[in-house]
Chains A and B, each alone.
Chain A
Amino acid sequence: MAERIVIVGGGPAGQAAAALLPEARLIARPDETAWHGEPGTVWLLRDGAVEPLGFDTLVIAAPVPRLAIAFGCAMRGWQPVVDEAGRTSVPGIHAAGAIIGAVTAEEAARHGRIIAQSILGLAPEGTILSADLPEDEEERRSLSHGFTPREAAVARLGEHGDTTDLFGPRLGEPILLFPASPVPLAALAARTTTPPAQRARQYDAFMQREQE
């Protein structure tokens, strides 16, 4: 199966990425809204219905930080932390444009192109500098591919540093809230007519390892 590339956002960053990635599925308001996500899936609102859309590669090119948070992207404040090529801490997920601090359409479009070039394996035309990206090259590398948000945070701040701003991205809220944008209750309710089984309680993997 061909790689499924999804671009969220029809602004300058999303359009620029889409121009170089003709196979990609572009999600743009008002026709479609990506209102939530979980690994490998974005949840869409489309024609008044809620539906999941699977992806291998995702470009978040809309100012929807709660979508990035839903995938577990390491955050600094409301911005996903990205490397030179716009990669977030979650493999396969990129962020471009206003969500990482672009303040002009030109800058956003440049982000979109660089990410598309990186996805295509082409030499990127430049680098994305996430606002406040660490200057140290080793630190920058630690924020790219292959790191969990916690590992990326720990790499940046040390084992006992205050990592809450990065991997516990509640951003000053008492409890982390979703979704990225409101979804009609009736559209959500229409997804299912049969009662799902009650999910069984979970057990602490750490405790079970200790037991063995």
Chain B
Amino acid sequence: MSGWGAIVIGGGLHGLSAALQLGRRGAKVLLLEADRVGAHASGASAAGVRTLGRDPAEIPIAVAALEMWRGIAGLVGEDCGFVQSGQVKVAETEAELAQLGERVAKVRALGWEHEEVIDRAELRRVLPAVAPHCVGGMIVRTDGFAIAYRTVLAFRRAAEAAGVVVREHSPVRGLERSGGTWRVRLDGGVTEGAPIVVNAAGAWGPRVAMLAGERIPIGYSAFMMLLTSPLPPFVTPVVGATGRPLSFKQLASGHVMIGGGHKGTGDLETGTYRLDIDRAAYSARTALELFPALEGSEIVHAWCGIEGVGEDDLPIIGLGRSEGLVHAFGFSGHGFAIAPAVGEMVAQLALYGQSNLPVAPFNPFRFS
């Protein structure tokens, strides 16, 4: 079958968000997912909705996305478990607190006022259970978190309601451009065609780019997450550390989700991953040192999400060299929050060749 307006490759949150926005703009969209929707980074995400501590290049997108999260039920039909719990980055030393102060000053000089520095007393007011050695922090009170897989499914349903056809277990084997149309070759001799292709294939994005003859050779990581047994409520905001990798939150169920940067290893051939127990152990240690209330808990689940990572830890978002190709992948472990806004950017790039939000820092070819 042919006659598609756009083909989106990748059924993660970014592919679904782009498909939703293209569908709402009247395009007839086919979304192809090699595995199952949300099978990797999107479903495995810590699902932080964070403007706090963003690279300056990402701030406009993160701020626009946070506005969309506040009305997420209007966008996708349900609230995705989103709560505006706030996000705090804790300083464990005076030197770290000074570093956070410089950061906030730098961001304010750029005209953004969402971040603020908080002292020891205010830190204890927002985080009563934090360890005594913590001296202060940086906070965005309007940030929060959602529930990852629930969000993926909500975006899928909304996309389908907008007319998007989602086809799982459909790996793309070839991409050829001729006569203003992309021929997308699938298994079993099936070919689909559309004038627009969106590469939202996450860690597999470089492979899809290569099928179109474009070299965007970024790396990938398997970001590791831990989930504890349920505990009585002791922390409301999402908590990060300044001097070591950590992201930490307590869900409504009482379970505590611990992530924030330590990595296992991933295998792109099989889509499987391997935990790194010693690094998981250090994540557990960091969490325990910041929140002694974790002492009696157990790790009940641990997992990794395989995610594309740029050399500068920033995503690939932009037009390909070939006509009718848009790349949006490699969100480097912090793409979940910005997915609603990036979907709009991708739809704008695909249909109009430009985006309302600044896209230049994410140029797909900036490394070559």
Contact = CB atoms under 8 A, between A and B. Distances in A.
Contact of B284 (A170, A188, A210): A188
Contacts of B269: 150, 206
Interface residues of B, number: 61
B207 A177 contact: no
A206 B207 contact: yes
Contact of A179 (B268, B285, B288, B299): B299
B83 interface: no
Interface in B278-315: 278-282, 284-285, 287-288, 294-303, 305, 309
Given A198-B245, A202-B266, A177 B220 contact: no
B271 interface: yes
Nearest to A38: B274
Interface string B222-238: 10001011000000000
Interface in B189-236: 203, 206-207, 210, 217, 219-222, 226, 228-229
A14 interface: no
Nearest to B219: A201
A170 B35 CA distance: 11
B221 A185 contact: no
Nearest to A203: B219
B284 A185 contact: yes
Interface in A159-184: 160, 162, 164, 167-168, 170, 174-179, 182-184
A178 B298 CA distance: 13
A185 B294 contact: yes
Among B261, B279, B281, max chain A CB count under 10 A is at: B281
A212 B300 CA distance: 43
A90 to B, nearest CB: 13
Interface stretch (A99-107, A112-120, A121-129, A189-197): A189-197
Interface in B159-197: 169, 187-188
B44 A175 contact: yes
A4 B184 CA distance: 51
A186 interface: yes
Contact of A192 (B245, B281, B287): B281
A117 to B, nearest CB: 32
B238 to A, nearest CB: 19
A151 B270 CA distance: 11
Contacts of A175: 39, 43-44, 149, 303, 305
B121 interface: no
A183 B298 contact: yes
A188 B297 contact: no
Contacts of A179: 275, 299, 301-302
Nearest to A182: B298
A186 B278 contact: no
A189 B207 CA distance: 38
B302 A199 contact: no
A207 B272 CA distance: 18
A167 B285 CA distance: 33
B244 interface: yes
Interface of B: 35-36, 38-39, 43-44, 149, 152, 169, 187-188, 203, 206-207, 210, 217, 219-222, 226, 228-229, 244-245, 261-263, 265-266, 268-282, 284-285, 287-288, 294-303, 305, 309
Interface of A: 36, 38, 43, 50, 52, 70, 72, 149-150, 160, 162, 164, 167-168, 170, 174-179, 182-186, 188-193, 195-196, 198-199, 201-207, 210-211
Per CB-CB distance, the 6 closest pairs between chain A and chain B, nearest first, are A201-B219, A189-B285, A182-B298, A191-B281, A189-B284, A199-B263
